[in-house]
Amino acid sequence: MAVRTAPESSREVTLRRWSVFEVTTKKGASSRHVHGHDVTHNFARTSSAIHKFDAHNMTVSTRSGRLYKLVGLPGNYPAGQPAWEAWCGSNHIGTQVDVTDEYLNIDKLSTLGFDRLTRAAVREENS
């Protein structure tokens, strides 16, 4: 699978089947990044470092100024694994830890919260 570069004009990105990883470079710098399926461009996408997380609106703003809208429940995007591995390699990542549950733990999600997230995902898929 070829790794593609995201268009620079994309300031707002919608991700589904998203995850959040805390990574540490081989030089010891740590940061967190959201990774998932970019539904607009239909490919895997990894953000720059997370600057702010808005749990109510399920959005992540990043160091680069992009806004990521997280739709649906977090999950694994298997087709995006080569892109994630390439990103880790090009950014000299030594370790990575999945910290998605710190952002949205589906085991602690209420029925109403679950319904809100799944309705948002269905709306996004139908648009």
pLDDT digits over 69-118, tens only?
999 889 888 888 999 999 999 999 999 999 998 988 777 655 555 456 55
Please name the residue that has the structure tokens 């952002």: 103
- Any bridge partners for residue 43, and if so which? 38
pLDDT for position 23: 98
Domain count within the chain: 1
Give the pLDDT confidence score for residue 72 in this predicted structure: 86
- Band the pLDDT of 1: cuts 50, 70, 90: very low
- How many alpha carbons lie under 13 Å from residue 108 in its C-beta half-sphere? 6
pLDDT band at residue 119 under the 50/70/90 scheme: low
Tokens (6 digits) for 66: 């992009």
For residue 95, being part of any structural domain is answered with yes
d(CA 121, CA 55): 15
Task: For residue 73, tell me if it sits in a domain.
Answer: yes
H or E segment to which residue 37 belongs: strand 30-38
Structural domain containing residue 38: 12-126
Quick check: is 81 in a domain? Answer: yes
> Is position 52 within any domain?
yes
pTM, two decimals, is: 0.80
Residue 4 falls within a domain, yes or no?
A: no
Q: Is residue 38 part of a domain?
A: yes
* 32-66 pLDDT tens trace: 999 999 998 899 999 999 999 998 889 999 999 99
Name which of 60, 55, 61 is nearest 109 in CA terms.
Answer: 55
- 78 against 10, higher pLDDT: 78
Count CB-CB contacts under 10 A for residue 29.
13
